[in-house]
Chain A
Amino acid sequence: MQIIIVGCGKVGTALAAQLSQEDNNVTVIDKDGEVIRNITALYDVLGVVGNGASYNTLQEADIEHADLLIAVSRSDELNLLCCVMARQAAKCHTIARVRNSAYRKEQEFIRRELGLSMIINPEFAAAQEIARLLRFPTAIEIDSFSKGRVEMLRFKVPSSSGLVGKQLKDVASTHAELLICVAEKNGQVVIPDGNYRIDAGDSLSILVTPKKAAEFFRRIGVKTNQVHSAMIVGGGEITYYLTSILLHMGIKVTIIEKNRQRCEELSNLLQDATIICGDGSDQDLLREEHIDRMEAFVACTDMDEENIILSLYAKDKVSSKVVTKINHLSFNDVIHSLNLDSLIYPKFITAENILQYVRAMKNSIGSNVETLYKLMDDRVEALEFIIHEDCPLQRIKLENMRTKNNTLVACINRKGKIIIPGGQDYFQQGDSVIVVTTHTGLENIDDILDEP
């Protein structure tokens, strides 16, 4: 697919990297020549230096033949203008990033009237993600498949759980409705087989329908209740969106923000939240506001380092959930070794949302991947395929299929019915199949086979 990306900041670069790797023809536009030089040296993309809203620049980027334009520059208005220009110049799809909360309410109106395909608000997307975690605090990570019919939940096995010491095949016999598809033990990621022994501290990813998830966690002795109170440090845009969602869910929210003016703004917008003007990195203040009675803690300041330190402090104080927002830092190994609870990377959430749109669009042109998630620092991929009419793997029982090592057919969705497959199951036309694998670059369902 021909894709033009306007703006090469954090999100633009992440998108360019991923999209070019997924075999798209990517052209990037930025007004900074230095940025363009760096990005074209790193990835197989074409760079154009210029203003993305100018018709000349767009022409140079070959807008006539583009299928999709993604505007993720710093300015909302420029992004919208880019998309409008692109719509006029060529009938391509357009995605704009619009982050100003003033446009939040009229987002749908803007999208429809300007003829955009998608408007993404990174702060709102991040807030939604955090809210999802607070609703289900046991999970470290939640990804959904088949339009939300199946979810992949990652959680850490507590030492009190009944699962500890069991082998996977025993678990499978008692819990037939779910599948443990990825396991991480002491930093090693594996696709576990029946002999895998579960220890306390392992982090497991399970594929399950949302309804069954709560039941499973109750049976293995893990608390699943939604939190009732949350403390958020930092009063940025994410905090605003998050608080509105949380209040709507009936969760009590305390916000700590340094800037008095911003506090007043927030208090205007969020009448039901408790807003404290003060330094969130002050221990006394946190104690005074009863951090130890909170069920959840969200570190949402602009400083990644501060967020990490705050979360480390809060980890032992709050009872169920700590969420840390990370903007820039990329030392994943180090951050993971700190054993923080859940991490939120707004730039990846934005990129991931856009990627899903692109994949769905591409799917209508020929490729077969419906959804793709990168899990565990990109070490594992979970892909969803649609079985088309001409698929050669139809009606072959799974036990007769020689699949690659570390590749697992995790779920079959047949007309809305979720099947956790065993050896007797098979694919048929119209199924959507979820495959979990440590290999990368699978493009077609046939790619799961071990090459002869």
Chain B
Amino acid sequence: MNRKMLQYVISWVLKMEGILMLLPALTGAVYREKEGLAYLLCGLCCVAAGFLLSRKKPENMELYPKDGYVAVALGWVVLSLFGCLPFMMTGEIPFFVDALFEIVSGFTTTGSSILTDVEALSHASLFWRSFSHWIGGMGVLVFILAVLPMKGGSVMNLMKAESPGPSVSKFVPRVRGTAKILYQIYIVMTLVLIACLLLSGMSLFESLTLSFGTAGTGGFSLLNSGCGTYTETQQWILTVGMILFGVNFNFYYLLLCKRFKAAVLSHEVRVYFLVILAAIGAICVDIRGVYDSMAETVRHAAFQVGSIITTTGYSTTDFNLWPEFSKTILLLLMFLGACAGSTGGGIKVSRVLILLKTVKKELMSIVHPRSVRQIQFDKRPVEHEVLRSINVFLTVYMTIFAASLLLVSMDEFSLETNFSAVAATFNNIGPGMGKVGPMGNFSVYSPLSKLVLTFDMLAGRLELFPMLILFSPSTWKKRG
């Protein structure tokens, strides 16, 4: 393993984080809060640590596949460890495990909180929480790739490890160019969302933080009541925003290149919208009568469905009080997740689609043992490697899920609470059901469970393998 190069990548993560921390510091200065100073101090610490680590540029800039995974996983762990410092320093979240849980929940765009009273936080901390969603949404290392020149296969190994989805597709030949295009689309879409919210009459601070949460499909809200108190227009803007950020960014690139036909033909995006419409329809029928008007019913159903399928986790109403059928639909959507190549989490629509096609093929080969059938996705054959990696992904996914559920259940909450808590963190959604529902929070869990859930969030965001490789002993042996 190329340890010097790992150190170099980590140093850049730290420098970047230090610079980004200046924004909450600025917010603190605007609102004249002393918490802003903590951010300034932590930011400087990060930059200093970064420079200390990168005194020497490594001679061998090569990152092998394993190094790519380790660099990404380690990068995220370091990012979280330094990111939680300001919370502890300001005294708003004094305990380390709590602070770590909160910031990991931010960076992984989960949005689960251990805070019982969000409104008591300073503006600087509220800003940092939401901003961490935005940073984590597209990926820290992708951003570093966009600005830092690196060599050949190395960059591909980093990109592969951080991007969500079964396979990475490059828009343009160079990884660097692809990373730039991704961030350009991301930034423009976020700006449009901020502008829309401002026009609808929201304050600047709220527009910024809510947009960051929506763009990264995170879901930290500013009020204890979630998004329930915003106007109808604002709720609709957020609904559309969430759903659009859950679409594969490939789709937007195709639109930009004016290749509309190819964009519309994207199987994944079509199924994604179909599932959303079907879920909204089913829930509307199920919860009719709970709200006063039809318009309100549709609005709440659409908001909740959009929030859960994109793994954002905002809420306008307490869906814990909905009938069981609707709750089950939401729970299933948690697992499905958004499109590959978006900022959302979960198993991803394309993985599920390919799995279903595999099942169909296997059924076929039972009936016609000699049949030959190549699985296609978007009119292209799916390579055997991809199929295998999806199967392995699902197996590992279930294993980690079961292990986490077992560990968390030691706290003796109901199965609904535990199951949904693990699902909500592992899929980077945010609120679960029962005690951890939209109006509840994760503060009830023991420190051990919080750590397990923290691991789940990171594993879920990085799609399992980087975290597993980081924590497997053979990675850190000198030889092997």
Contact = CB atoms under 8 A, between A and B. Distances in A.
Interface string B147-186: 0000111011000000000000010111111000000000
Nearest to A25: B173
A26 interface: yes
A21 interface: yes
B383 A44 contact: no
Contacts of A17: 152
Best-buried of B152, B175, B177, B383 by chain A (most CB within 10 Å): B152
Contact of A46 (B151, B173, B383): B173
Contacts of A42: 152-153
A70 to B, nearest CB: 14
A21 B151 contact: yes
A43 B153 contact: yes
A79 B65 CA distance: 34
Nearest to B157: A41
Contacts of B177: 25
B55 to A, nearest CB: 14
B309 to A, nearest CB: 31
Contacts of B173: 2, 20, 25-27, 44-46
Dominant secondary structure at the B interface: helix
Interface string B173-208: 111110000000000000000000000000000000
Nearest to B383: A33
A44 B152 contact: yes
Contacts of B152: 17, 20-21, 42-44
Contacts of A41: 65, 153, 156
Interface string B233-258: 00000000000000000000000000
Interface in A1-58: 2, 17, 20-21, 25-27, 33, 37, 40-46
Nearest to A33: B383
A46 B153 contact: no
Interface in B51-82: 65
Tell me which of B153, B176, B177 has the highest count of chain A C-beta atoms within 10 A of its own C-beta: B153
A103 B325 CA distance: 74
A371 to B, nearest CB: 23
Contacts of A20: 152, 173-174
B175 A44 contact: yes
Given A40-B156, A44-B155, A44-B156, A25 B172 contact: yes
A62 to B, nearest CB: 8
A20 B176 CA distance: 12
A45 B177 CA distance: 11
A17 B153 CA distance: 10
Nearest to A39: B153
B148 to A, nearest CB: 13
Interface of B: 65, 151-153, 155-156, 170, 172-177, 383, 385
Interface of A: 2, 17, 20-21, 25-27, 33, 37, 40-46
| Top 9 A-B pairs, shortest CB-CB distance | A25-B173, A46-B173, A43-B152, A42-B153, A44-B152, A27-B173, A26-B173, A46-B170, A44-B175
Given A21-B151, A46-B173, 13 more contacts: A20-B173, A20-B174, A21-B152, A25-B177, A27-B173, A33-B383, A37-B385, A42-B153, A44-B155, A44-B156, A44-B173, A44-B175, A46-B172
